[in-house]
Amino acid sequence: MKHARWIYLLVITLLTWNCANAQTEIDEQAIKFSQLLRIVNRYHVDTANVERLTSTAIVRLLEALDPHSHYLSREEVREANEPLDGGFFGIGIQFNIANDTLIVVDVINGGPSEKVGLLAGDRIVTIDGENVVGINLTNAGVRARLKGERNTIVRVTVNRRGEVIEFNIKRGMIPIHSIDAAYAITPSVGYIRLARFAATTVQEFEKAVRELQEEGMKDLVIDLQDNQGGYMEAAIALADHLLDARRLIVYTVGRDARASDSFYSTSAGLFQQGRVVILQDESSASASEILAGALQDWDRGLVVGRRSFGKGLVQRPFPLQDGSVVRLTVAHYYTPSGRNIQKSYEKGARNYRAELLDRYDAGELFSRDSIHLADTTRYFTKEQHRVVHGGGGIVPDVFVPLDTSANYAYFNALVARGIIRDQVFRHVDRDRETLQARYPTFQRFKEEYEVSETMIREIVAKGEEQGVKRDEKALARVLPEMKRVLKALVAGDLWSTAEYYKVINEHNTLLQAALAALQDGQYETLLRGKP
């Protein structure tokens, strides 16, 4: 017992000594950096911006750690949190700037602008007495003028078909939704398009599932394409709704004991029985991979698409004294089977970001056989003991190649210059009343609306004006896809984002593969090991 006590005291002494040494080293380096700032500020030939130099040093320091630790200024903190916190205070409109004119594209249902009578198509000419026509207004400039503190008033003057009307609009909470679309894609299959994992995600998901169940949903497709993550807690909560009780969802391991934890499902899930399919692509990351990994590891859901991004790191925000924030990576997370799906970042941030291009060049986006992971360890799912892998994202159960049947270079050039979006806006803005009268319901629009050759000619001509050379052969190859996108965008402008997806999803190859798997028995073959 005496020896044990001495060993205990020795261990405590060594730990204390190591901590003291580490703190001394940190203090010495802080003094060194402080000396450098004072020298630069006093002696450098040009006037030094000390705040900017400090921010630059912090950014470079974090870049040397890993690709996901980063620094946010006070302003960046506010902007970054808006999509995740679920909203901001404003007047509730979607707008476009055309020919130096600020035009209302849509008015958010139940928002401050709808309550006072603002309408789509209104031209905003002044904001709080300031002229906003013909002044090279930017999107950021509009947002800065319209956003503000809750319950404050913004005075807006609009031109409505020649009539000048002034509105006093009280700013309110403008929601940023996590779910872009939720609808029954067949009588028994529900579809939920999830854009991000945010503060309101769980409530939105629960509402969507309940409504789809009332419509007769038996199976559920969750679309995580391009979903780059968000709040880890939201992903865990969604997995909880889909898994049976007491299932490990994810666990984290960090140097600090507070960063290590395990998260389990409870018994109160909304959708624990029906079949589930996850759609993912190479841009699905972080929280998306937590959800997909948990369902795959428990043989609870089929993952369809391409290998996900590969982000298996957990960040924690550390506020600094001036309101800025450091988001520091504090842990790795692991799927229930023990997989760490983080891809390598040993070659630096630039190569890390370019890795998706490497996948394209290696042919991985077109062939499952071209997938090569750094970690060759075999892991096994919890129920059926299927082999799964870590070391670079979630590999899908059903691979769907990137569509290269048409040459999209010409179309992509038109999109990149904003020509497609602008022409759709002009079309809807000019003909809104005619379109609404001709297509009083979305179903009628979906069945009857066709993109006119006039619109295509206008787009091609506008492209030539902006340096996109006319390419008749490329246009002929991509024309069917161009018309589908244009029709979807028109639907989105006339109704909502949900109608956009109802049109575009008719040719969503991942979704079609998911529906085929649910219909032909492939789901059971892959997940249950039987026909």
Both 170 and 314 in one domain: the answer is no
Distance CA 521, CA 135 (A): 60
C-alpha distances out from residue 466 to 137, 424, 459, 461, 463, Å: 20, 17, 11, 9, 5
Instruction: For residue 44, give the DSSP letter.
Output: -
Q: Which residue has the tokens 């569509």?
A: 403
Residues 235 and 291 in one domain: yes
Q: Are 107 and 114 in contact (CB under 8 A)?
A: yes
Which residue positions in the chain have pLDDT lower than 50? 1, 6-11, 13-15, 17, 531
Examine the domain organization and report whether 398 and 478 are in the same domain.
no
CATH number of the domain enclosing 148? 2.30.42.10
Q: Is residue 530, in this structure, part of any structural domain at all?
A: no
Catalytic residue among 69, 113, 265, 286: 286
On whether both 280 and 338 belong to a single domain, the answer is yes
One-letter amino acid for residue 181 of the chain: A
* 103 and 192 in a common domain: no
Query: In this structure, is residue 13 part of a structural domain?
Result: no
403 annotated active-site: no
**32: containing domain:** 21-64
- pLDDT tens for residues 22-55? 567 788 888 888 898 888 888 888 888 888 888 8
CA separation for the pair 156, 91 (Å, rounded):
10
Nearest-angstrom CA–CA distance, 312 and 232: 11
Asked if 263 contacts 236 with a C-beta cutoff of 8 angstroms, the reply is yes
Q: Is 72 helix (H, G, I), strand (E, B) or coil?
A: strand
Question: Is residue 311 annotated as part of the catalytic site, yes or no?
Answer: yes
Judge whether 80 lies within some domain: no
137 and 97 in contact (C-beta within 8 Å)? yes
Question: How buried is residue 520: exposed, middle or buried, by Cβ count under 10 Å (0-12/13-18/19+)?
Answer: exposed
Q: For tokens 């190649």, name the residue.
A: 401
Q: Is there a domain that residue 287 lies in?
A: yes
Angstrom distance (rounded) from CA 501 to CA 507: 10
Q: Where are the beta strands (DSSP E) in 108-209?
A: 123-127, 130-131, 153-160, 163-170, 172-175, 179-184, 189-194
> Is residue 513 within 8 Å of 400, Cβ to Cβ?
yes
pLDDT digits (tens, 9 = 90+) for 161-218: 888 999 999 998 877 889 999 999 999 999 999 999 999 999 999 999 999 999 999 9
Same domain, 123 and 38: no
Q: Does a structural domain hold residue 207?
A: yes
> Quick one: 474 and 357 in the same domain?
no
Q: Is there a single domain that holds both residue 387 and residue 475?
A: no
* pLDDT for residue 11: 46
pLDDT score at 474? 86
Number of domains the chain is built from: 4
Claim to verify: residue 189 and residue 167 sit in the same structural domain: no
The answer as to whether 300 is a domain residue is yes
CA distance 173 to 425: 26
- Residue 279's nearest CA partner among 316, 226, 236 is 226
Residues 6+ apart with CB under 8 A from 447: none
Q: Please identify which of the residues 69, 180, 219, 311 carries the catalytic annotation.
A: 311
Task: Specify whether the CB–CB gap between 91 and 146 falls below 8 A.
Answer: yes
Q: Give the span between the Cα atoms of 198 and 346, in whole angstroms.
A: 30
Looking at 124, 150, 175, the residue that finishes a domain is 175
Q: Is 283 a catalytic residue?
A: no
Which residues are CB-neighbours of 201 under 8 A, at least 6 positions away? Answer: 178, 179, 194, 230, 231, 234, 237, 238
Same domain for 250 and 279? Answer: yes
Q: Considering 106, 297, 299, 493, which one is annotated as catalytic?
A: 297
Residues 310 and 429 in one domain: no
The answer to whether position 527 is within a domain reads no
Residue 5 domain-assigned (yes or no): no
Q: Is 362 helix (H, G, I), strand (E, B) or coil?
A: helix
Q: What is the CATH number of the domain that holds 250?
A: 3.90.226.10
Domain end among 136, 159, 175: 175
